[in-house]
Amino acid sequence: MTHSTRHTAWTLLIAGALATIAFDLFGQGLSPLFGFAKLAPVGLAQGTLKAVFGAAPSGAGDTLHILTGMVAYPLGYFLVARPIAARVTPRLHWSLVSVAYGVGLWIFALYFVAHLVAGNAPFLGFTGITWVALWGHILFAVVAAAVIERQLPRAEDLRSAAA
């Protein structure tokens, strides 16, 4: 593994870890502290595993939630959202790209996973948890993207900084 590949892998893991902490702090701590709904991402992950496999051992939901936040979602930004934005809207600031990515994560989590896979109501019935989840996914995406953009600048960003 080259230095560059190791740096990229560590950056993505750190971005995912910090973003997952921000998501959980907001959704399970701050939101209910201020009288809003409390997110239950581990419960959703556990329910999804039960729907797919028929059963899920204790701890499997926690593991799925953490790995999704630390690995899958940061990779999605780095390998999908960032390159598409660079090609389609190259002048759009990364923060706006990350907000759009967060909305996409919210749609994926609350429609595809929670509804189509786990069998819950679409977007969990548009209750209070729906809107806390929206802001939580946007927060996740902005935190992850901030780390990624700071540590892994695009080649064109490096060229313009040198000019």
- Model confidence at 163, pLDDT cuts 50, 70, 90, reads low
Residues 35-58: pLDDT tens digits? 999 999 999 999 999 999 999 999
- Model confidence at 3, pLDDT cuts 50, 70, 90, reads confident
Residues 68-79: pLDDT tens digits? 999 999 999 999
Residue 159 predicted with pLDDT over 90: no
CA distance 45 to 62: 7
Return the DSSP state at 71.
I
Whether 113 and 73 have beta carbons less than 8 Å apart is answered as: no
DSSP states of 105-130: HHHIIIIIIIIIIT-PPGGGGG-HHH
The per-residue pLDDT of the chain, averaged, comes to 94
Residues 78-133: pLDDT tens digits? 999 999 999 999 999 999 999 999 999 999 999 999 999 999 999 999 999 999 99
Whether 148 and 74 have beta carbons less than 8 Å apart is answered as: yes
The owner of tokens 């977007």 is: 123
Residue 139 predicted with pLDDT over 80: yes
